[in-house]
Amino acid sequence: MKYKEGKSLADHLNEIQGIVDQLSGMGIKMEDEVVALLVLASLPESWETLKISLTNSAKDGVINMEIVKSGVLNEEMRKRSQGASSSSSQSDLLTVDSRSKGRSEARGSKQRGKSRGKSNKFANILCHHCKEKGHIRRFCPKFRNERKKGKRDENSDDDGANSVDEFNIVYEEDVVNLTTQETSWVVDSGATIHVTSKRDFFSSYTPGDFGVVRMGNGNLSKVIGKGEVCLETMNGTKLLLKDVRHVPEMRLNLISVDKLDEEGYCNTFHNGQWKLTRGSLVLAKGKKLSKLYVTEAKISPEIVNSAENGDTIELWHKRLGHMSEKSMAKLAQKKVIVGLDHVHLKKCVDCLAGKQNRVAFKSSIPSRAKNVLDLVHSDLCEPDVNVKSLGGARYFVTFIDDHSRKTWVYTLKTKDQALDVFKQFLALVERETGKKLKCIRIDNGGEYKGPFATFCKEHGIRQQFTPPKTPQLNGLAKRMNRTLLERVRCLLSHSKLPQSFWGEALLAAFYVWNRSPSVPLKYDSPEKVWTGKEVSYKHLRVFGCKAFVHIPKDERSKLDSKTRPCVFIGYGQNEFGYRFFDPIQKKLIRSRDAVFIENETIEDVVARKEVPSTDASQPSLGLVPPTPALTEVGEEAQHDQPEIVEQDAHVEVQPEDADDDGQPPAIEGSPVQMTRFGRVTRRSSRYPETEYVSLTDGGEPESFTEAMNDEHKQRWIEAMQDEMDSLYENKTFELVKLPKGKRALKNKWVFKIKHDEHNRQPRLKARLVVKGFSQRKGIDFDEIFSPVVKMTSIRTVLGLAASLNLEVEQMDVKTAFLHGDLEEEIYMEQQEGFKKEKKEDYVCRLRKSLYGLKQAPRQWYKKFESVMGEQGYMKTTSDHCVFVKKFPDGDFIILLLYVDDMLIAGQNVSKINDLKKELSKSFAMKDLGPAKQILGVRIVRDRGVKKIWLSQEKYIEKVLQRFNMDNAKAVSCPLANHFTLTSKQSPSTEKEKAEMDKIPYASAVGSLMYAMVCTRPDIAHAVGVVSRFLSKPGKEHWEAVKWILRYLRGSSKMSLCFGDGEPVLVGYTDADMAGDVDSMRSTSGYLITLSGGAIS
């Protein structure tokens, strides 16, 4: 590619860089020195002097693109200045002189001075800075070096700009005839700052003297301010330009490519088009006009989103639930929030609406309890007699620890639920602290009498009742209720949400309160005093703000939008993630994949439209979807309201300390229960509105307490009773006194909603699981190893079945681990909710294994092995999970066992059925009929042609989606020849190691290895190569892994076929020659086939 005189050199460099980027995308990486030499080689003969000068001036004889780019661009400017026409005096823009660091150095260097010496332009000119001839101050090396260090020469008087920063403007002849509008922005790859002349363009502005710029006509123009400009590009995307300089005399608006690059954007120049991207999102586009790239963008008055906002004081005031100025000032002093410095709040209308009250009387600060749980304050409050929460709650109760001031809040439908939530609170705090609650201070409310008082007496908890009509003595709880209600009013006022959202606002308010500075704690937060850990504020967002929540791939088609507008209504409950409300579909969503627009509310999500409601206690949200289309089935058809369901949106499990990484931590307390709401046309005759409550994660409770608060509470109780009945029937345990020196393992309930293939009435399943992680080797268990069938055995049997036309049936063992007999003496606590009366201090002596025990798999295998031995089956020596029996008439049956999944192959159907009956006598079995899938491997059979196909198409698709390679370009080979992987490509610096730590290299290799082991022997060599670098993978190794994924992308439907040959073993083997570059060792491989398909 040759450069033609007269063409823009910047365009020529961009074209070369575009080609280099394309080659890099193909896996062909070019060294920087090679690219620099290619640029020099593309220049004509008239540039020969410059090429020699740049080559000779290269440090250590190695030239790079930074030197070449700055040198050739300076030479282009010199040539233009020599031949400039009189129109040059009319130019008043356009690019900042210091296009890059390397370019500035080259312009002021001795070598650069020599290359321009022939013109004698500055031969007799005296530099005002160093007092030497041959150059002006702009190109003075001494001045450049001092400027880098931040020094300013007080004695210099160059153009009267000695005390301010000077940004020199380079003449660009094409701007003279460029016709633009106010919405036009010139994109310059050499500028180091953004510039505009329009004061009203700025969304945030700081006036001041920020230096001068030298225009193309030689005049100086002052920079009178700087700030941020928010642009809305032609495709509707918002782009925030930071550190934009305000120069009133500037004729055009200027965008700096270098600035965008520093902020993580990607600029692409190709075929006269400019494109700005971040990841896969295209933010802006432009086109070349008169040798300049121009984009059109109008000014957006709003800030882009929380990720790109300056963290203003007002924004943090809203994020922190309208925290007081004094508390925010304390957070600013501790520097726990980035960008929060000098706090001075303006008058907040929402704070006045929620908090304004009479002037307080003087009061003294009461003393605090010495330790946590020495004293807890509690009070019950009814926010509004006429307004229920979304879950039908009318009341809430607070519990405040006097020492740490940490608060727990629970919503109640009726006052008599106070005892139930107190039991939950008591179990939670005593488990967290290991201490017992000593005293609770309460008023004389009836909810604290009767059963509540009896419970406290039984557990040794002292009750402090305040005297009648003296609420001041329970002032801490009363003041907390007032504080929370004030914040709830503030949040509802700002978010424009209906009052029925008071429950969600309450949970958000007390969550922030626990993380707010407290005067009695010397401005520490209750959460910090309670846990002893620093509190993170990175995850906080403005309650009720607009948010775009990512829609998982399995919930949308390829043409559907990938996001949905929602309203942020709080933080996850006992889990990680945020909670959102979808006003269009009227459902609750929990997700961590969201982008927040914190200065917009629900009014910006959909147009508010008042809908008449006949129920004053359930005010309508006032939101109507544009095209409501509801479908109901059976008796549910009479309900006109759409069902509200809570669903996960790609929720990831995080470690307990994720709070330090900016992830929203779990919320203590009872979740707000949700119910149906929205348009009301007629009442259901089957269920009252109060029955549609207790939304949980996908409908599956995560604890016994959550199940008891669920709308299907009775059905969950029945499911747990069924589990207990099966345990009693199986004689799994017996109640005994815990012997001295022994300890009892804990347990938990695991709940599951199971749907059939027709999605009819779901079945609720509860399973009791032992917390086996607390078992001790040599005491609670010895051997835990349990074999499973090898994939080689599965493929061998299926190959035989294809050639010999054998029957292949599949069975599943129900509650397999419960059948194993225990050899150790193990005790377990009684099940939550099923403790025997008058035997509460007894424990369960386990006679048979339970799910969760470390030895449960081994005990199950030993039991199954003994049963198969009684039936005359022998296990093979090569695979102990392959059981074979040969009958006198020559028939045989082969059984394969993988934990509780079985494949049975045989010639005679009746004999297979006899085996099924015998197994059903010993275990609870489920007959699945002809085998269709095992371990994620799909089995397709055509008995007419005696063939069986094995494939993992669904598994591969999930792997591709997991690593964001489902839309990657497919390739035709598992590993291309240009990959030469060595240990030298591993990270060598801490920065490189930190970057690779973020890449799931081992997880990706493991996923590939499972596909290789099951059905894809074609990737065995490639996976073996990349697995050599699991300990220290580098970028090149990761590129190879992605290449294998791209290969699977194009061959996901490929299957392993059996039946194309005789059932005879055929082996192949080969080896390369010193294929391992690091050790120079050879790698050998083998392949064994049976019935035409690979088995090993």
Distance CA 607, CA 603 (A): 6
**What angle is formed at CA 402 by the lines to CA 396 and CA 403, rounded to 5 degrees?**
140
Distance CA 448, CA 1079 (A): 76
Distance CA 840, CA 458 (A): 13
With beta carbons less than 8 A apart as the criterion, state whether 948 and 940 touch: yes
Task: Tokens for 770, please give them.
Answer: 């032992």
**CATH value at residue 521:** 3.30.420.10
The owner of tokens 């079995």 is: 925
Q: Is residue 109 part of a domain?
A: yes
The residues that bridge with 292 in the sheet, in sequence order, are: 289
Does the predicted TM-score (pTM) go above 0.85?
no
Task: Tokens for 47, please give them.
Answer: 């540039």
With beta carbons less than 8 A apart as the criterion, state whether 570 and 579 touch: yes
Task: Tokens for 567, please give them.
Answer: 């309203």
Amino acid in position 231:
L
Q: Is residue 797 part of a domain?
A: no
With beta carbons less than 8 A apart as the criterion, state whether 970 and 1066 touch: no
Distance CA 497, CA 1017 (A): 58
With beta carbons less than 8 A apart as the criterion, state whether 260 and 240 touch: no
Helix, coil or strand: residue 948: strand
Q: In terms of Cα–Cα distance, which of 550, 538, 586, 547 is closest to 568?
A: 547
Rg (CA), the chain: 37
Helix, coil or strand: residue 893: strand
pLDDT value at residue 470: 65
Q: In terms of Cα–Cα distance, which of 555, 629, 623, 619 is closest to 593?
A: 555
With beta carbons less than 8 A apart as the criterion, state whether 631 and 617 touch: no
With beta carbons less than 8 A apart as the criterion, state whether 533 and 406 touch: no
Q: Is residue 39 part of a domain?
A: yes
> 687-692 long-range CB contacts below 8 Å, 24 or more apart?
689/392, 689/615, 689/618, 690/392, 690/413, 692/643, 692/644
Overall number of domains in the chain: 3
pLDDT value at residue 366: 59
Report the side by side order of strands in the sheet with 1066-1071: 1066-1071, 1084-1090, 1093-1094
pLDDT value at residue 281: 76
Q: What sections of 356-444 are H helices per DSSP?
A: 418-433
Distance CA 905, CA 939 (A): 14
- Contact partners, residue 614, CB within 8 Å, separation at least 6: 680
Distance CA 585, CA 580 (A): 12
Among the listed residues 92, 97, 153, 188, the single catalytic one is: 188
The residue among 531, 560, 585 that closes a domain is 531
Distance CA 489, CA 616 (A): 19
Distances (CA, A) of 690 to 4, 308, 393, 613, 631: 79, 42, 9, 16, 22
With beta carbons less than 8 A apart as the criterion, state whether 387 and 502 touch: yes
Q: Is residue 750 part of a domain?
A: no
The residues that bridge with 736 in the sheet, in sequence order, are: 843
Backbone phi and psi for residue 669, each to the nearest 5 degrees, phi listed first = 100, 180
Question: Hey, what's the torsion of the CAs at 325, 326, 330, 335, to 10 degrees?
Answer: 10
With beta carbons less than 8 A apart as the criterion, state whether 152 and 162 touch: yes
Backbone phi and psi for residue 365, each to the nearest 5 degrees, phi listed first = -80, 120
Distances (CA, A) of 463 to 267, 376, 454, 477: 69, 10, 11, 15
pLDDT value at residue 566: 92
Q: State the distance between the two ends of the chain, measured CA to CA, in whole angstroms.
A: 52
Decide: residue 755, CB within 10 A, 0-12 exposed, 13-18 middle, 19+ buried.
Answer: exposed
Q: Are strands 194-196 and 202-207 parallel, antiparallel or unpaired?
A: unpaired
Report the side by side order of strands in the sheet with 94-96: 94-96, 166-171, 212-214, 220-222
Q: Is the dihedral of CA 51, 52, 53, 55 positive or negative?
A: positive
The owner of tokens 């747990």 is: 720
The residues that bridge with 555 in the sheet, in sequence order, are: none
The residues that bridge with 828 in the sheet, in sequence order, are: 745, 844
Task: Tokens for 562, please give them.
Answer: 């990938």
pLDDT value at residue 203: 81
Distance CA 562, CA 546 (A): 16
- Angle of helix 101-108 versus helix 65-82 axis, rounded to 10: 60
Residue 821 appears among annotated catalytic residues: no
pLDDT value at residue 778: 57
Backbone phi and psi for residue 1018, each to the nearest 5 degrees, phi listed first = -70, -20
The residue among 511, 531, 551 that closes a domain is 531
Distance CA 215, CA 94 (A): 7
Q: Is residue 631 part of a domain?
A: no
Q: Is residue 767 part of a domain?
A: no
Backbone phi and psi for residue 203, each to the nearest 5 degrees, phi listed first = -90, -25
Task: Tokens for 394, please give them.
Answer: 């009318």
Helix, coil or strand: residue 951: strand
- Angle of helix 48-57 versus helix 32-41 axis, rounded to 10: 160
Q: Is the dihedral of CA 226, 230, 234, 237 positive or negative?
A: positive
Task: Tokens for 858, please give them.
Answer: 């081994």
pLDDT value at residue 59: 65
pLDDT value at residue 684: 41
With beta carbons less than 8 A apart as the criterion, state whether 343 and 313 touch: yes
Q: What is the DSSP string of 639-650?
A: --SPPP-EEEES
Distance CA 1045, CA 1047 (A): 5
Give mean pLDDT in consecutive 10-residue pieces for the chain, a chain of 1096 residues: 77 82 78 84 81 70 78 76 43 37 38 40 63 69 64 39 44 49 80 84 82 65 87 84 86 85 84 83 83 84 40 75 80 69 70 67 62 92 82 90 92 90 92 92 87 92 81 78 90 88 90 88 88 87 91 83 90 77 84 87 58 37 32 31 35 36 40 41 39 44 84 86 83 86 86 65 81 67 74 89 88 77 82 83 84 78 86 89 89 88 89 88 84 88 88 90 88 85 86 86 90 90 88 89 91 87 85 80 87 85
Task: Tokens for 254, please give them.
Answer: 């200027």
pLDDT value at residue 760: 57
Task: Tokens for 86, please give them.
Answer: 């009189």
Distance CA 592, CA 552 (A): 12
pLDDT value at residue 95: 36
Q: What sections of 249-364 are H helices per DSSP?
A: 257-262, 313-319, 325-334, 349-355
Q: Is residue 328 part of a domain?
A: yes
The residue among 156, 188, 220 that closes a domain is 156
Q: Are strands 925-930 and 827-828 parallel, antiparallel or unpaired?
A: unpaired
What is the number of other CB atoms lying within 10 angstroms of the CB of residue 929? 8
With beta carbons less than 8 A apart as the criterion, state whether 422 and 454 touch: no
The secondary element (H helix, E strand) that includes residue 763 is: strand 763-770
Distance CA 610, CA 680 (A): 12
The secondary element (H helix, E strand) that includes residue 952 is: none
Distance CA 594, CA 932 (A): 39
Q: In terms of Cα–Cα distance, which of 39, 50, 46, 48 is closest to 74?
A: 50
Backbone phi and psi for residue 817, each to the nearest 5 degrees, phi listed first = -70, -15
Residue range(s) defining the domain that contains residue 480: 313-357+368-531
Q: Is residue 171 part of a domain?
A: no
Distance CA 576, CA 569 (A): 14
